[in-house]
Amino acid sequence: MAATPSGKGIPWHRVIGERGKILIREPYASLQRKLLESEGVKIIESRVDLKRHLWKPPKKSSLKHGASKKRIQK
């Protein structure tokens, strides 16, 4: 969550425990479950199926700051 760009909030219903568990209490837990399921998230026994839905940040490119520029030969 700390990597979220400033001004870009994370929808509250997408925040879950590290093992996929829905951590908030009723009545909001039911609402969170409905919202996640409406997005196609599979939930088993109040846990998100992390093998299927775990977010993985994109890998950073090894090419940085001009490394991708080709040399011009004369």
Q: pLDDT per residue over 8-64, tens digit each?
A: 777 888 888 888 899 989 989 999 999 999 989 888 888 898 888 777 767 776 555
Residue 69 has pLDDT above 60, yes or no: no
Residue 68 has pLDDT above 60, yes or no: no
Query: What is the bridge-based pairing of β-strands 47-48 and 43-44?
Result: antiparallel
Whole-number pLDDT of residue 73: 56
> Higher-confidence residue: 57 or 67?
57
Pinpoint the alpha helices (H) of the chain: 28-38, 50-53
List Cα–Cα distances, 52 to 35, 42, 49, 74, in angstroms. Answer: 17, 8, 6, 53
Rounded Cα–Cα distance for residues 53 and 9 (Å): 20
Whole-number pLDDT of residue 38: 92
